[in-house]
Amino acid sequence: MEAFQKIHPLEFYRKFLERSVRPDGRSLTDIRKTTLSVGSITTCSGSSFVKIGNTSVVCGIRAEVGEPPSINQTGIVSNQSKNHSYIFVNVELGPICSNAFSSSKPSEKAMSLGTQLNALINRLDIPTTDFYFDNEGKARWYLYVDIYCLDYDGNITDASIIAMLSALKNVTLQQGIIVEPNQYFKDSEQPTRKLSIQNNYFIPLSFAVIDDYILSDPCLEEEKLSSGQITITFNENQEICLLLYTGTNGIADDHLKKCIQLTKNRFDFINKLVNENNS
C-alpha cells in the first residue's frame, strides 16, 4: 500500500477519487479543520497562528518607526495608494517546514505568495493617520508582516491570508514621543490603538485540479499531483478580490462557478473565526 502510493501516486489517487473520497477520508469538497489563535507572541505588535489540517503558519507583525514617505525619497510612492508604503508582507518557507525548501535558496513559492499578499493588503483602505507615530505625523509607524510556515502540508495560501488578516486586526500601536529628530520613544502610559480595518475580511479558499476532479483545500500530496490550482478570495462585501488559476490545462466554466460557490459557503465560518479571536 505504502509502496504503491510511492511508485504510482497518481493511480493511487484516482482509485480514491473515482469513489469521491480522498485518502485522508475527506470528500472532495471537505475542508480540513481550521483553527486560529492571536496574540500569542509577546515580542511583537500583533501576531496570529493559523492551522489548516497539518499546515500551520505563524504571523508576526513588528512595528518600526521612520520618517514619513516623501515623494522625492521613494520616487513613485504617490497619494493614490495611501498605505502602500506602510505595510510590508513577507512569507518565509524555510527548511523547517518541509524538505522541499532549503535555507540557501530562496523559495519561488514564497516570493510569489509574498507578492500576492502585498497586493491584497493594498486593497485595505487604512487612513494614513492610523500610522502616525506622534499626533502630527512627523514620524510614521511601518508594519512588517512576516509569515513563517511551520508545517507545510498544502494550501499555504489560505493559511497565510487568514493569518495575515487576523494578525493585522491584532496589531496595537502606541503613541510615540519624539525627543530629538531620529530619537523615537513609545509612550507606554498613553492608550494603545488598533488599525481601522475591523470590518474588513478576506475569505480565501484554494482548490487543486486532478484530472476532472476539483479538490477543496488540497494537502501537499494533492498539490503535487494536481495539474492546476485555483485560489479565490472574497472580501467583506462578498466580492472577489483575488482569483488565481495556474495550471497546464484549461478550466471549465462551471468548475470555476462551483469553486466560487464553495468559497462563498466558507464566508460565515471565516468571519466567525476571525471575529471570535479578535473580540
Contact 59, 36 (CB under 8 A): no
By rule CB under 8 A, what count of residues binds other proteins? Answer: 73
User: How near is the Cβ of 169 to other proteins at its closest, in Å?
Assistant: 16
- Sign of dihedral through CA atoms 182, 186, 192, 195? positive
User: How near is the Cβ of 237 to other proteins at its closest, in Å?
Assistant: 28
- Strands 140-151, 87-92: pairing is parallel
Contact positions with other proteins (CB under 8 A) in 259-278: none
Cβ partners under 8 Å of residue 75, min gap 6:
none
- Taking CB under 8 A as the binding criterion, the range among 106-114, 203-211, 230-238, 247-255 that sits at the site for other proteins is 106-114
The contact pattern for other proteins, residues 115-134, with x = CB under 8 A and - = no contact, is: x--x--------------x-
Give the nearer residue to other proteins in terms of CB position, either 30 or 211.
30
Among 37, 73, 78, 196, binds other proteins (CB under 8 A): 73
The contact pattern for other proteins, residues 30-69, with x = CB under 8 A and - = no contact, is: x---------xxxxx--x------x-x-x-xxx-xxxx-x
- The CA distance from 201 to 236, in Å, is 5
The H or E element containing residue 215 is strand 213-216
- For residue 64, list its beta bridge partners: 142
Contact positions with other proteins (CB under 8 A) in 181-200: 184-189
Is 204 an interacting residue with respect to other proteins (CB under 8 A)?
no
Contact positions with other proteins (CB under 8 A) in 151-180: 151-153, 176-177, 179
Radius of gyration of the chain measured on its C-alpha atoms:
21
Residue 109 class from Cβ within 10 Å (0-12 exposed, 13-18 middle, 19+ buried)? middle
Contact positions with other proteins (CB under 8 A) in 74-103: 74, 85, 88-90, 92, 94-99, 103
